[in-house]
Structure 1
């Protein structure tokens, strides 16, 4: 929906509407031959709009999108040849805007040249214009301007998305490093409490016990109170140390959420069990990159709306489950991203399994040891 309401699409709708206005209210161009019946003209014009919206509503470049753009070119020529309204060639400008998005630069240039060669023949043979070359060159200049504008706009969008993904990657890595620093500091403090404070409190207890046996202070309630407070304080410190050691590990929720933030689609559904905490930065990096690859694949290949990520503990292992609701087909081909993910997991004693779901989505199942 957001793409359909973009400024570029609005400009296309206005141009399409202006052409339709001429068809409805300017009368039949009888001076240049018999025109098609108005209902047939309206049907072709509406079909053009439907194909235009179908192509521009998707961010993916597919063979279906290429076929729909070529079909729009055919509809534009059909209207030019049979209805012959002066504004109809503007439809070719809308086609050119889509051409540079769904085809590579060389193919787009060839198609634009062939298209305008046909426009010249149509102007000369059917429309019988006095200056078909000038009219064709004028339309080519408009098409060239539109093509360059659209091409730079698409490149800017790609650069923006790449920059957003890189920025999210850096923020996720920073979050991971910050969590690693906090975990290291927590472990250091637990050791300091155990080794320093615990040692000195134990020494204090020994001295208080010796003092309590001294005949001069035997039965003194203040000595007994100090001994009891020392026992309680030592027990509290041991409890804190035990709790800090139980919390040892890296929490990945913040890093994964940051990584998914620049993707407007698919939506991330994240579930991390309370005991599913990795022990080392290498393990955290492997999990983070696996989630990143799952999101990237869902964006590029699956047309998914939602990605589910579940991290849980299974005995001495951590299980990472990544699944999307895409509509792909055929076996999943392992590209550089999946191969790199598998190598990273295997390097720390884990593994990866990739399958396609019954609905056509991709299901990644990864596992790695819970300890270092």
Structure 2
């Protein structure tokens, strides 16, 4: 994913350089063929196009389709002005129309993409028909038709390529979310199954083997009072061994009943192999919570990870789990786009309900990245 990110950055830089080169060549042509007033208008339009494309590349996507359409409309209309103010029929400026079609494919749905391609094709047709102020002679009808068709195909191809890439990224995102959800559910099921199996084994040891050893110890105690001579020594030794074995069985039963949810292993299972963002998990050594709280913590980490994958556009997610003063504290922070106004959806509301049901609290902050702070009262903490 890091390599993919670097490729995307270099691709963006290359497109920016290409646009600037096109602008230099076309700007010089406009300046030589037209007045300073027309050149100033062309320069404003080209600058608006560049700014619009940069904003679309770095700004978080708006939530509504209408807002995304308005953002895309800025470079589309600006490129229209750039093309129509150029004296060149079918010049380098038409490359800008291809770029706006590709940009539309990243941000819009199919209907919006088709609208942009149709609009740009009409612009190519208008330029070739000499509707611009600096074009004096129109193209021949055949050339006009071929040019329009050619650039329509180029726009469609670039849009299709970006659309396919977008779909691949969305599919990878959905797969990553499913991976996190599956691993968290699997970890909880595994811990639940192991806990039930440990409880079953401890009960069997206590009820069956423990009972039989107790009876054997009583029988040997009785025998020790009825046997005299050298045989009594063996009876006493057998009674002592039986008591030792019974004590060991009781110790194993007690240990199995006291075994806790392996929270570090479960959280590592949930967060490992996430391709993007990179998850940095830190757990305070010696941290122990009961099974109910451990299950809630696993679900909180699952929700935080899936939200980060879906919405944040982050490269890193830091999750720190600590305990102090009888409170377990989970602090999750990503380096993504954040949210000036945090609106909790079903996932975050469910997270809050889980934590509050155990007497804890959750705070959300989207001012610098996105932070989720969950605090739970802990029943016991083993010092490191």
| Fold similarity call, TM over 0.5 | yes
| Aligned CA distance change for structure 1 residues 313 and 267 (closer, same or farther; 3 Å) | closer
Partner SS for 2:154: helix
Does residue 353 of structure 2 align to residue 353 of structure 1?
Answer: no
- 2:181 aligns with 169
Deviations 1:188-207 (A, max 9, x none): 11222222222222222222
TM-score (norm 2): 0.73
Deviations 1:320-351 (A, max 9, x none): 443334453534212222222234445x5445
User: Does the Cα contact within 8 Å between 1:173 and 1:255 map onto a contact in 2?
Assistant: no
- 1:78 aligns with 82
TM-score (norm 1): 0.75
- Cα distance in 2 for partners of 1:82, 1:265 equals 44
Report 1:1-372 matches (<5 A): 2-6=3-7, 10=11, 13=14, 20=21, 33=33, 55=56, 60-62=60-62, 67=71, 70-71=74-75, 74=78, 78=82, 81-82=85-86, 84=88, 86-123=91-128, 124-126=130-132, 127=135, 128-130=137-139, 131=141, 132-217=144-229, 220-249=232-261, 251=263, 253-255=265-267, 257-259=269-271, 261-271=273-283, 274-280=286-292, 286-311=296-321, 319-346=329-356, 348-356=357-365, 359=368, 361-367=370-376
- Cα distance in 1 for partners of 2:12, 2:51 equals 15
Unaligned runs of 5+ in 1: none
Q: For the aligned residues, what is the CA RMSD? A: 4.6
Q: How many pairs align?
A: 363
Deviations 1:100-148 (A, max 9, x none): 2123444333333333333333332344441445422321222123223
Partner SS for 2:349: helix
